[in-house]
């Protein structure tokens, strides 16, 4: 009863239309075991898209920060750090 209640009252339901080719491709993925059903496959796709966009935004923030304040050269490294770097085999 609890799961049914959560699905009915706690989760947003989306309704969309897709063409037959996309539905067939989804069904192929389900048959291959990529997801249990169409709903799970749509959720997975949305989660991946949202995560990809989030990562892109974070990456752009990092680029912007380094563009605004470029990383200085290694002249400012202290002696201990310089020694550690010099010991590396690269």
Q: What does the CA dihedral 59, 63, 65, 68 come to, rounded to 10 degrees?
A: -160
CA dist 12 and 38 (Å) reads 16
Place of tokens 């752009």: 60
By residue count, the chain amounts to 90
Q: What is the pLDDT of residue 50?
A: 98
Q: What is the pLDDT of residues 25-82, one digit of tens each?
A: 999 999 999 999 999 999 999 999 999 999 999 999 999 998 998 877 666 667 788 7
Q: What is the pLDDT of residue 35?
A: 97
Phi, psi of 20 (to 5 degrees): -60, -35
Place of tokens 């290694």: 74
């Amino acid at each position: 009863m609890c799961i049914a209640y959560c699905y009915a009252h706690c989760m947003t339901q989306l309704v969309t239309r897709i063409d037959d080719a996309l539905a067939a491709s989804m069904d192929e993925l389900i048959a291959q075991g990529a997801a249990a059903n169409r709903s799970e496959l749509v959720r997975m796709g949305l989660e991946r898209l949202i995560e990809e966009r989030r990562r892109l935004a974070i990456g752009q923030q990092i680029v912007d920060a380094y563009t605004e304040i470029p990383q200085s050269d290694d002249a400012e490294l202290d002696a201990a750090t310089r020694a550690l770097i010099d010991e590396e085999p690269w």
